[in-house]
Amino acid sequence: MRTAWMLAGILGGAIPLLAQDLPASTPNSTDPATDPPIFQASVVVTAALDEVDREEVTETVTVIDRQQIDDRQASTIQELLRTIPGLAVVQSGSPGNVTSLFSRGTSSTQTLVLWNGMVLNDPFFGGFDWAHLDAESAERVEVV
């Protein structure tokens, strides 16, 4: 019984410590975990790890810019990709169903899809469903 009272006294004495205010953090925090991400004005996408001019790349690179997207009046990215040589866009059934992309005979799970540098591929299956990727929100489509 005496131990229970002693434990209650220790815990009861610690409660006011929990009620005290924490010191304010400085607004100019240098902690990268709490700082918001900073995005550059443009993103460079290359077939290699180094930045290379498009004219000097030996791989096939296709770029569809905002003007071409508007001229083609495409509502989805899959409509734009159908026009690129070497790509096969396959839709399973009616619009809205699973749509896959095959690049030069590869499997649809071997195509890496990036949106502003963020991987969109399904982490479990490896593929990506192109059916709901809107062309209105894209400024540029690059196929490397």
Task: Give dist(CA 69, CA 135) in Å, integer.
Answer: 7
Q: Do the domain assignments include residue 108?
A: yes
Domain assignment present for 121? yes
Q: Is residue 29, in this structure, part of any structural domain at all?
A: no
Classify residue 52: in a domain, yes or no: yes
- Within a domain: 40: yes
Name residue 80's amino acid: L
Q: What is the CATH number of the domain that holds 83?
A: 2.170.130.10
C-alpha atoms less than 13 angstroms from C-alpha of 55 in its C-beta half-sphere: 0
Domains contained in the chain, number: 1
Q: Tell whether 22 is covered by a domain.
A: no
Domain extent, residue 63, equals: 36-143
Report residue 110's pLDDT band, with 50, 70 and 90 as the boundaries.
confident
Report the percent of the chain where pLDDT is more than 90.
3
- 114-134 tens-digit pLDDT: 887 788 888 888 888 887 788
3-state helix, strand, coil in the chain (%, to 5): 25, 15, 55
* Residue 43 covered by a domain: yes
pLDDT at 47: 54
CB 134 within 8 A of CB 115: no
The pLDDT mean for the chain works out to 75
Q: Is the pTM of this model over 0.85?
A: no
